Amino acid sequence: MIPFNKLYITGKEEIYVKDCLKRKHIHGDGYYTKKVNKFIEEKFNTRKALMTTSCSSALDIAAISLNLKEGDEVIMPSYTFVSTANAVVLRGAKPVFAEISKDTLNIDPRDVENKITNNTKAIFPVHYAGVSCDMDSIMDIAKEYNLKVVEDAAQGVNARYKGKYLGTIGDIACYSFHETKNYSSGEGGAILVNNDNDLCKRAEIIREKGTNRSQFFRGEVDKYTWVDVGSSYLPSDMLAAFLCAQFEKIDEIQESRKKVYDAYYVGLNELEKQGKLKLPIIPEHCESNYHMFYILLNSEKERDSLMYKLKERNIGAVFHYIPLHESPMGQKFGYKQGDLNITEDLSRRILRLPMYPELKAQEIEYIVKNIKGIL
């Protein structure tokens, strides 16, 4: 069986986790969490980075720190993971779904602008498959209408847009270190705050149960107390230790994924020329982190049939998001099938192929050969 995803272990994870145990500090914000935060701040160039228990919790912190409340609207793609919307909904605000572009499957800035009302407070762009959204247009719109931008960069760690790392362009950004992402600690995430000093302070407090405990440990206040809303969003230092090992190999891991991506691309090029499928597009100003390799078939029927036939041949190809506007929860907000035609069409024709650093050349060849045979 060639699975869809396989955890990559660098070999240092065990050493660092053992060292973490030896230090007898396994709760949050220990030696390794501080290392992770510093790594993110220095490598990607952001003002403040804080490791969290997940990208979902980082999105929650972002939504709380922006003071989202009932009556507020946040524009995001419908074609995303539920956490992007949940963060907003948990504050009582409304997710407003915009269309995606056909080339990258990222949110379409023109539709973002269409969806702005007097109640719009923020835009949550999602960098799908490790390829950046059109951030210049999104940041321009945000500036014009005075909106905050929270990048859902769960899939975008170590990818770039015009030289800048994803997660360092909006006001706030969220990373995921879930096992299915490029760099992993099993479960885990981070919140990045890029400019605003007050937002930095608030994110830190919200992450620490609404207390100024971090300021206390830095000696900035003489006791710590309850100063804001918050919850517990700190991961165990053991998870940070695991992630440190992955970060040491961040560029090697990305290079291995690029090899897989390139091999698929070359192997399937002929089928694209014959009009049997479409290959993913990386716009010129984007550097991908090769999180995903997907193909777009000509119809849902062809997609489903290919997926099942590949499964019969032990190849773990999978579809992706059910658009949120069509989901039972989306319908509770008054959305329905037919609202977003491009999103609905693309989500029904996408197929993601196995993608992980250790996927071998012969295995890719086997997958390509089977796709060719079936189509």
**Beta-ladder partners of 151:** 173
Nearer to ligand PLP, 176 or 194 (CB): 176
Nearer to ligand PLP, 28 or 189 (CB): 189
Strand order in the sheet with 350-352: 277-278, 294-297, 350-352
Among 36, 55, 131, 306, interactor with ligand PLP by CB under 6 A? 55
Q: How far is the CB of 347 from ligand PLP (least distance, A)?
A: 14
Q: How far is the CB of 332 from ligand PLP (least distance, A)?
A: 20
Tokens 């922006």 belong to residue: 66
If DSSP codes are grouped into helix, strand and coil, which group holds residue 191?
A: strand
Question: How, if at all, do strands 277-278 and 294-297 pair?
Answer: antiparallel
Nearer to ligand PLP, 10 or 184 (CB): 184
Asked if residues 30 and 20 have their Cβ atoms less than 8 Å apart, the reply is: yes
Query: Could you say whether residue 60 binds ligand PLP (CB under 6 A)?
Result: no
Convert residues 74-93 into a mask of x (bound to ligand PLP by CB under 6 A) and - (unbound). Answer: ------xx-xx---------
Query: ∠ at Cα 150 (89, 5), nearest 5°?
Result: 85
Q: Which of residues 179-208 bind ligand PLP (CB under 6 A)?
A: 189
Nearer to ligand PLP, 81 or 293 (CB): 81
Which DSSP string corresponds to 203-232? HHHHHBTTB-HHHHHTTSSSS--B-S---B
Nearer to ligand PLP, 56 or 168 (CB): 56
Exposure of 350 by Cβ count < 10 A (0-12 exposed, 13-18 middle, 19+ buried)? buried
Q: Which of residues 118-147 bind ligand PLP (CB under 6 A)?
A: 126
Q: Which stretch binds ligand PLP (CB under 6 A): 149-157, 262-270, 310-318, 367-375?
A: 149-157
Exposure of 290 by Cβ count < 10 A (0-12 exposed, 13-18 middle, 19+ buried)? buried
Q: How far is the CB of 157 from ligand PLP (least distance, A)?
A: 11
Asked if residues 147 and 120 have their Cβ atoms less than 8 Å apart, the reply is: yes
Nearer to ligand PLP, 185 or 370 (CB): 185
d(CA 51, CA 210) in angstroms, rounded, equals 16
Nearer to ligand PLP, 99 or 263 (CB): 99
Convert residues 312-341 into a mask of x (bound to ligand PLP by CB under 6 A) and - (unbound). Answer: ------------------------------
**Beta-ladder partners of 351:** 295
Nearer to ligand PLP, 36 or 55 (CB): 55
Number of residues that bind ligand PLP (CB under 6 A): 14
Query: Could you say whether residue 347 binds ligand PLP (CB under 6 A)?
Result: no
Query: Could you say whether residue 152 binds ligand PLP (CB under 6 A)?
Result: yes
Asked if residues 131 and 104 have their Cβ atoms less than 8 Å apart, the reply is: yes
Binding site for ligand PLP (CB under 6 A): 54-56, 80-81, 83-84, 126, 152, 154-155, 176, 178, 189
